[in-house]
Structure 1
């Protein structure tokens, strides 16, 4: 049943494409010349039909040939009929052999599929030349115009038109590959951002696990020290057991995360400019999605390849999102990166609302936040900047912040290159 539905669906698509391409071909076929001062016509539509047959599989070549031929002859005849004001049947019949050309082109296209010959440009070129020459010979035989000089012109025309068709085919393929490459780069960039966020969460989870381990040890130590005090020692042992269970759960989650990202396509190194380019694209899409009139600029003073680029992704993402949340309409965010004395310096500055001076000492504390949802009143988790601080501690880096409620905020990150 499903196969029948698929077949019906494909048939509809092929018919639709066939009719559409037939109309396009017949329109281009109206650009033509009369060689030999005769009724024989050489048109551009031949270039188009050959190109269509070479690049498209979801068509019926015979239907395209018949429909394009009838439409071409009809439009040419009607055009001449109207322009000459001569209402003679001979005018319509004059273009009837043109329909024969396209009909036979459709027949040849059905028997010898050009879309299956396009893997070799030479085979495609020869097939197109043969199609062109054969169909033109059939047309001039119908017109009773066969001669050696006419045959020479037909062959030369076939060679030229096939060259144009193959050139168009190569350009089309190049564009298709370029689009595919761009889409791959976009997916790769999004994958890098996703994995960087997973790594950041895993890092924080690992730190929480280490903290839980310390809590478990301290609680068990209290239990050992206070065995004589039954109520106190029981509670201490319960805390140690709970901490142990939570740690085991965290370990399972961490193993799952590590297994998840283990086989992800990753580059061993990435340059700062590549990191900035990926984050620039994603940030601009984020700003567009929230319909904010915020401008963001990225600048790399001097480039450098680093191995722990996921950490830089996580640091920049958190700092930039904070900057966006601090900005209003027509505010600007500047992100710069440079290498100075074997240290990576990254700054994220904005001219948004800024942070009050008495709050600054607490912004890196876990759970601390001044942001909340205006609709629900729920506070932000307050772990973004804590993430940044933990990552920088692991990288032996430092972060400085300068803020003014009138001029905005600037975060400056310094990381030794040896840590990256």
Structure 2
């Protein structure tokens, strides 16, 4: 029942759109015969709604066009009777019905990939149907038969070419839109995986910290002599051990979900910058800030460790955006210095106090807060960045800042760990 309802709705759309587009027309012979955009519209809709019967759609359109034009004529000429109007407009109904029959016989829907054949077939349908309509009307105004036929052929060719151009134009922009949407989803997915992998690095570190805490608790249990304290220390060690097992299950689950990428999967610096820029621009728009993003690279090369690198740069750029009030410039650069890849993220925001520079990478340290709620930031972003740079890439990160002038984060990563 649902399929039948959808088909009825589609037939209604085809009929109504064709009827109203049929009101855009030329009357070259000073008679009721007209060349309209209705046939172009019908052709495109028959191509688009492939599950609709061509014959059924053409018959319904023919009836609706006939009834609509009769109605409009009678409203504008109240003294005219229905018997007088029918002979004026029944030929247009025949035109659409015959057009649909020829459209089906020539199988035009399956000729879309052959533009010349498609255009010639549609031209034939249009011209023959119009010739039949003119013959039924038996009126050509002051023009000769040859001139009318020539006009029908020329207009048929124009409408056929117009139709194929519209079809290819719409197809081009639709494909372009679909491609942009796929690229958008890909960028979002890459950034999501990069963030998850960054969290995974921290979870691994926490697992080691928990292991150390458990060992210290057990050592304390063995050293204590008072039985009550020994029992309590043992319970603490057991609790930590349970937490460790839970952490390991979480880490294993994430690692299984984010299976290590194939070693052959690479991404260039240019591609990394494009992904980050696309996602960051959306964040800037949401913040209603006027921030210019600049990405510059001297050496474009492909790397395998692109997920953690994206996470690092994304964290630093977001940090820069949050340090800017309403306007500013953020510049991300890349270059190769000897055996190292050097990345810099620079902004002209509020900067960092001199006494705070040594603390910015400490867990929990933050000078940012939500102006609406007053809640302080977690202060974990830069700690994440430092952990990935030092423990995953065996690199180093430093920061330079001038209050209310600029802040520059410099990341130095050995090329052997990034490629």
Both structures adopt the same fold (TM-score exceeding 0.5): yes
Are the aligned partners of 1:297 and 1:333 in contact in 2 as well (CA < 8 Å)?
yes
- Deviation for aligned residue 1:347: 1.2
User: What is the match of residue 270 of structure 2?
Assistant: 273
CA RMSD of aligned residues (A): 3.8
1:202 alignment partner in structure 2: 200
Q: Paired residue for 2:307?
A: 310
The residue aligned with 2:46 is 53
Alpha-carbon separation, structure 1, partners of 2:316 and 2:224: 48
Is residue 221 of structure 2 the alignment partner of residue 223 of structure 1?
yes
**SS of equivalent residue, structure 2 residue 16:** helix
2:132 corresponds to 1:138: yes
Q: Tell me which of 382, 388, 395 is aligned to 1:385.
A: 382
**Equivalent pair of 2:342/2:413 in contact (CA under 8 Å):** yes
Compared CA separation, residues 113 and 53, structure 1 to 2 (3 A):
farther
Q: Is the 8 A contact 2:10 2:49 kept in 1?
A: no
Contact 2:198 2:384 in 1 (8 A): yes
- State how 1:93-104 maps to structure 2 within 5 Å: 97-98=91-92, 100-104=94-98
What's 2:289 paired with? Answer: 292
Work out whether residues 14 and 45 of structure 2, in 8 Å CA contact, stay in contact via their aligned partners in 1.
Answer: no
What's the CA shift string for 1:346-380, capped at 9, x where partnerless?
21111111111111111111122222334444332
Contact 1:72 1:98 in 2 (8 A): no
Match of 2:179 among 165, 178, 181: 181
**Kindly tell me: are residues 402 and 25 of structure 1, through their superposed partners in 2, closer, same or farther at Cα, counting changes over 3 Å?**
farther
Give me the whole-angstrom Cα distance separating, in 2, the residues matched to 1:300 and 1:77.
Answer: 72
C-alpha separation between the residues in 2 aligned to 1:316 and 1:374?
A: 25
2:327 matched residue in structure 1: 330
Q: What are the residue-to-residue correspondences of 1:20-169 with 2, within 5 Å?
A: 20-27=17-24, 30-31=25-26, 33=28, 45-57=38-50, 60-68=57-65, 97-98=91-92, 100-106=94-100, 115=109, 118=112, 124-125=118-119, 127-144=121-138, 158=156, 161-169=159-167
Counterpart position of 1:355: 352
Q: How far apart, in 2, do the equivalents of 1:153 and 1:264 lie?
A: 64
Cα 1:325/1:119, change in 2 over 3 Å: same
CA contact (8 A) 2:62 2:92 kept: no
Q: Deviations over 1:302-361 (max 9, x none)?
A: 312111111111101111111111111222222222333342222111111111111111
Q: Which runs of 5+ in 2 are unaligned?
A: 78-82
What is the distance in 2 between the residues matched to 1:233 and 1:13? 79
How far apart are residue 53 of structure 1 and its match?
A: 2.6
The answer to whether the 8 A contact 1:25-1:49 is kept is: no
Judging changes above 3 Å, is the alpha-carbon distance between structure 1 residues 115 and 97 closer, same or farther for their aligned structure 2 residues? same
Unaligned runs of 5+ in 1: 82-88
SS in 1 for 2:296: strand
3-state secondary structure, aligned to 1:302: coil
8 Å Cα contact 1:69/1:102 also seen in 2: no
The answer to whether structure 1 residue 238 and structure 2 residue 198 are counterparts is no
Q: Closer, same or farther in 2 for the Cα pair 1:118/1:241, shift >3 Å? A: same
TM-score by length of 1: 0.81
Q: Secondary structure at the match of 1:174?
A: helix
- In structure 2, how many angstroms separate the alpha carbons of the residues matched to 1:46 and 1:263? 56
| Corresponding residue number in structure 2 for 1:86 | none
Match of 2:80 in 1: none
Cα drift, residue 212 of structure 1: 1.0
- The answer to whether the 8 Å contact 1:294/1:328 transfers is no
Report the CA distance shift for 1:46/1:19 in structure 2 as closer, same or farther (over 3 A). Answer: closer
Q: Distance in 2 between matches of 1:8 and 1:267?
A: 50
Equivalent residue, structure 1, for 2:168: 170
State the match for 1:368 in structure 2. Answer: 365
C-alpha deviations, 1:6-49, integer Å up to 9, x for none? Answer: 6546634542453134312431xx24645xx9997555554443
Where does residue 413 of structure 2 map in the other structure?
415
